[in-house]
Structure 1
Amino acid sequence: MKRFTQLFLDVDATTSTNAKVRAIQQYFHDENPQNAIWALYLLMSKTRKRLITSRVLREIFLQISEIPEWLFEESASHVGDTAETIALLLRDVSIEPTGTSSAGGDTPLHEWMESVIPQVKEIKDKESDRLKNLVIDWWANLQDDEIFVLNKVLTGAFRMGASTKLVVKALSAEYGLTEAVLTHRLMGDIETTGEFYQALIDPDETDASPSRPYPFFLAAPIDVEKFAAEPMEQWQAEWKWDGIRAQLIYREGQLFIWSRGEDLITHQFPEFESAVGVIPDGTVLDGEIVCWDAEKPLDFNFLQKRLGRKRVTKKLMAENPVHFIAYDLLEKEGEDIRTMPLQARRAAMTALIDQHPNECISYAKPLAFETFEALEDWRSQSRAMGAEGLMLKALNSPYLVGRKRGYWWKHKVDPMTLDAVMIYAQAGTGKRSNLFTDYTFALWKGQGEGRTLVPFTKAYSGLDNAEIEKLDRWIRRHTNEKFGPVRSVEPFHVFEIGFEGIAESKRHKSGIAVRFPRILRWRTDKPMKEADTLASAIALLKSRV
């Protein structure tokens, strides 16, 4: 635990990409495989399960300290994170161990992750003395920064200040493997064993799990000026559908479906089992899962009802039928064909699907165009087609890893917008935990003196640092009420909110929900009374139906 915590501190202490990579590389150079695989697991944010809530940790801390609850709440409000607040306050608290656990900073990371922390799972009553004594002993035997790391792991909120790309770069530098090979080997599930780690770094390793997906190739936002100068005949255009990007894998007689977020979602879409035995073994298709109405996708709101379900009923499948629109063929008859040009991969994909038809699978059809102006005309029809915009792909492009500019562009439609009034604010997390960066916006409802502001969305991105700091100072001076970490503020400022989609929602007071909301600009030129109305939002919704 001590060595991993030092890695966390080394990475957190610098903004230099090279320094982060060197720190991670040095850690893996010095560490044994049993600990290294767990460090990799944590670095890649694979620990999403919450074992103990922040509330339970807070209650345990208040029971063993003389700090009053109001002071703890004020401290947590300033820090912005309960786990970090506890770690900071414990510096001045004398803890008497209970003798329940002897695990400490010198206990290897793999023992913490495999046997020490899992003891929490055996305790059904999260308010019990046994759980309390375990946590007390862990805190007593660890240093401040080690406590912080432990608290974040326990609450399922551990995040390292390094992306997966930096981790792969460090492994590549240490073991002499290409980043593409390592990225592929790390796709899908990671087995937290020393053997898995040894296989990961073995230059001669060839055996791959039949379920393992390929790293996704991503499009970059279009550089219009650069693209408009390109020879149009060297590019393919297709609709950018609003669904779940996924890979459909059929190997060794088994079907696997992986989302772009590296979640295995096969069980959520049993319809695709019909492809088993139809498409050839050794096939990997890259595409989009959408809800389907005859020959075109439905609104994302339909697909939303299918997500995260442990059990998919026949009724749910009938009301929200899904379809896989294939974009690309990555593996044919067990052979990785990603280095082939898109034009060749596409020809192989269309031939495969035409020869092995399945009612749940089709392929994206290119849009005809000869000029950039013709592309813009297609883009203007996106919303009528239920699409987010266009995908533009170079016909000679290989299927690469991650986001490589110049090969694939996404040319999205301009967002829908509404001018709304900020009514609530909440502090951010991490480095912005002492600033109010998360905001709730409202629209007008009603007429005349009976007009009221109804909350319709939250947003936290779109303002630059100077605007955030200026707004933060204003929020602190114009707070009406406090509700835990949330502040009700004087309704005054108007912001233009952009979003990609709008749908009816019974869960929201406004009756609507918007997709991907963000702040486009601070409307300092617009008084609050001129902000948009809920009627405007509903009219926008009806225009999309």
Structure 2
Amino acid sequence: MRRFAELLETLVLTPSRNGKIRLMVDYFRSVNDPERGLALAAITRELDIPSVKPALLRQLVSVRVDEELFRLSYDYVGDLAETIALIWPVKGGEREGRNDVPTLSEVVAELLAASRREGPALVKGWLDRLDPSGRYALIKLVTGGFRIGVSSRLAKQALAEFGEVPIEEIEELWHGLEPPYESLFAWLEGDAEKPESAALAPFRPVMLSHPVEDADFTRLDPADFAGEWKWDGIRVQATVDQGVKRLYSRTGDDISGAFPDLVDALTFEGTVDGELLIARPLADASGIEIGTFSDLQQRLNRKRLTAKMLKDHPAFMRVYDVLFDGREDVRALSFRERRQRLEKRVKQFDPRRFDLSPLVEFPSWESLAAHRAEPPLPMIEGVMIKRWDAPYLAGRPRGEWFKWKRDPFLIDAVLLYAQRGHGKRSGFYSDYTFGVWREEGSARELVPVGKAYFGFTDEELKKIDRYVRNNTIERFGPVRSVRADAEKGLVLEVAFEGVNRSTRHKSGVAMRFPRISRLRWDKPPSEADTLEAVEALITGPAVDA
């Protein structure tokens, strides 16, 4: 556990992406099997420890620590694992029982074999034997709450660098492998042949685009490119292989369980690429109505789905490419040829769940710019530009696909609430709820319209955190309410992609992808924007919280 604990601690404290990759590569090189494979499984959330849940950990610590002391400590630290690791008192002031520290493989093996009644007792014993760093790693392991700034794909990138192979090879193998990945590491170290994926319907690494730049229009011929709308959903890949059906995110995460209605409708053999949306049939049965991203958020990351949720927010896929036509790999064909195949294939799909992304005709870049500025539907983010003769290449090849998004909306809002962050931000107030002025007659009040937790630098974070602490008027657990009125308040310039009606906030609106664009220390809060100005930007129908 010591090396695993050291890895987690350094990952949390390392801000840069490349720095995190180097740490993981060094760990893979210096730690033997099966420890490194189990660490990889934990970081990529491929380990499920059913015998211990966060509520049981709270019960354990409540026996050792005064309830009010724990509440105040948790409020200050902002992270359950870190709080328990630091506050856990060992009887007699020293670690009880054996002085040796368990290995990661011992911990995992015993917990997987334990019942829900046995699991907490095991954890309690280990907490007494471990130091604070080890306790933190243990709690993260059993809860799966790895807020350490490492995504599953970043861990795969570290594997690719460790073995000096393309990440696409890792991604195609991943879903056919199981922890502790000994065959994978043997291949990456050159001690064995590349393992064969045993999984049916595997993930195929996706092709990505580059943001278009002004210089691109001077060197590219519009006749060489197709145009498509850029839909406001999430990129997915649907695949059927010998009856096995799977739905993947763009990073290769299997999200089939969250969208059973769409997966059940997969009746073709092959693999298609597209956009996951919410779509409802029109009342007159003449077609479908595409929902907003806020609609889609009601389905994302849900572990339990009700019949009402499936009915009110039906999953839909707008298909725009084909990778496997039946069992034939067609990625080497041109986009034009793949599109022609897709036009024939999509006729076999259930129209209540699938359709073909329409092309945007444009004789010139000026014509495409006009389409981008005035799309036919408000939930369109911009346009995609795809070279007609481009094969489907994994990764982000240059000169093949471009995205040209609409310019973001900007408003000036006032900071209302701040909440402690997680991981390396657990000591700072880094999650911000902001509001605008609602005016009724001569009365004005600030009402919340959104929440953001990025878009600012580390130095700006420190300044905002200091402002929050110095201007707190109320506390609600880890949340602080700050002074915000016409004379005193911090104005934030907020960028966002769209806004919809919603019951989530008191204002009745919710923003799409809000982020802090700029801190307006120079602007008085009385000059922040109004709710009326925000409502004028509404891009879709009402959305429930």
- The offset of 1:24, in angstroms, is 3.1
- Segments of 5+ residues of structure 2 without an aligned counterpart are 282-286
Say whether the 8 Å CA contact 1:247–1:258 is kept in structure 2.
yes
From the superposition, tell whether residues 103 and 240 of structure 1 become closer, same or farther in structure 2 (CA, over 3 Å).
farther
Report the RMSD for the aligned CA atoms in angstroms. 3.6
Instruction: Indicate whether 1:407 and 2:404 are aligned.
Output: no
Pairing partner for 1:512 from 506, 509, 514: 509
Q: TM-score, normalised by structure 1?
A: 0.83
Code of the aligned partner of 2:274: G
Q: Does 1:249 align with 2:277?
A: no
State the shift of 1:22 in Å: 5.0
Deviation of 1:209 (Å)? 1.2
Q: Is the 8 A contact 1:455 1:509 kept in 2?
A: yes
Cα distance between partner residues in 2 of 1:369 and 1:209: 42
Structure 1 contact 442–453 (Cα < 8 Å) conserved: yes
Tell me the residue number matched to 1:155. 143
1:222 corresponds to which residue?
A: 212
Output the TM-score relative to the length of structure 2.
Answer: 0.83
Match 1:209 to one of 199, 207, 218: 199
Shift of 1:152: 1.8
- Once the two structures are TM-superposed, the CA of residue 195 in structure 1 deviates from its matched residue by 6.4
For 1:184, the aligned partner's letter is: E
Q: Is the 8 A contact 2:227 2:383 kept in 1?
A: yes
| Alignment partners' CA distance in 1, 2:313 and 2:504 | 19
Distance 2:412 2:274 in 1: 35
CA distance in 2, matches of 1:13, 1:471: 20
CA distance in 1, matches of 2:18, 2:436: 46
Correspondence for 1:141: 129
Instruction: Determine the C-alpha separation between the residues in 2 that align with 1:206 and 1:189.
Output: 8
Task: Give the aligned partner of residue 127 of structure 1.
Answer: none
Change (3 A) 1:362 1:406: same
Is 2:172 aligned against 1:184? yes
User: Is 1:454 aligned to residue 444 of structure 2?
Assistant: no
Check whether the contact 1:392–1:408 (CA below 8 A) recurs between aligned residues: yes
Q: Secondary structure at 1:192's aligned position in 2? A: coil
Report 1:189-200 matches (<5 A).
191-193=178-180, 197=184
The answer for the alignment partner of 2:256 in structure 1 is 265
CA distance in structure 2 between the partners assigned to 1:192 and 1:151 by the alignment: 19
How far off its partner does 1:387 sit?
Answer: 1.0
Spell out, residue by residue over 1:291-334, the C-alpha distance to the aligned partner (whole angstroms, 9 max, x if none): 33415623334444555374564x76665454322111111232
Counting matched residue pairs gives: 526
CA contact (8 A) 2:11 2:23 kept: yes
Query: In 2 relative to 1, CA 481–189 (structure 1 residues): closer, same or farther, beyond 3 Å?
Result: farther
Query: Does the 8 Å contact 2:73/2:83 carry over to 1?
Result: yes
Q: Rate the CA distance shift 1:311–1:78 in 2: closer, same or farther, 3 A.
A: closer
Relative to structure 1, the CA distance from residue 106 to residue 386 in structure 2 (aligned partners, 3 Å threshold; closer, same or farther) is closer
Q: For residue 45 of structure 1, report the CA deviation from its aligned partner.
A: 3.8
Give the one of 523, 528, 539 matched to 2:525: 528
Task: Report SS of the residue matched to 1:373.
Answer: helix
CA distance, structure 1, for counterparts of residue 214 and residue 538 of structure 2: 29
After TM superposition, list the pairs within 5 Å mapping 1:381-392 onto structure 2.
381-382=374-375, 384=377, 386-392=379-385
Long gaps (5+) in structure 1: 124-129
Structure 2: how far apart are the matches of 1:449 and 1:400? 59
1:297-312 to 2 correspondences below 5 Å = 297-307=290-300, 308=302, 310-311=304-305
SS, match of residue 362 in structure 1: strand
How far is 1:143 from its partner? 2.7
Give 1:364 deviation, angstroms: 1.7
Counterpart CA distance in 1 for 2:5 and 2:342 is 47
Q: 1:461 to 1:405 in 2, by over 3 A?
A: farther
1:18-47, CA deviations, whole angstroms, 9 ceiling, x for partnerless residues?
A: 665454344334545433332221232445
Structure-1 residue corresponding to 2:107: 112
Query: Residue 453 of structure 2 aligns to which amino acid in structure 1?
Result: Y
State the percentage of identical aligned residues. Answer: 33
> Which residue of 469, 476, 482 maps to 1:489?
482
Paired with 1:4 and 1:73, the residues of 2 have a C-alpha distance of 28
Aligned to 1:451, the other structure's residue is in SS state strand
Q: 1:221-252 CA deviation, whole Å, 9 max, x = no partner?
A: 33333455322222222001122322121211
After TM superposition, give the deviation of residue 483 of structure 1 in Å: 1.9
Tell me which amino acid in the other structure corresponds to 1:521.
Answer: R
Deviations along 1:351-402, one digit per CA (max 9) or x if unpaired, are 3335x45424332222122322212101112363531111122334343334
Q: Which position in structure 1 is the counterpart of 2:116?
A: 122
* Structure 1 equivalent of residue 284 of structure 2: none
Aligned AA for 1:382? P
Q: What are the superposed Cα offsets for residues 106-144 of structure 1, whole Å, 9 maximum, x if unpaired?
A: 33x23322322663x613xxxxxx776443311111233
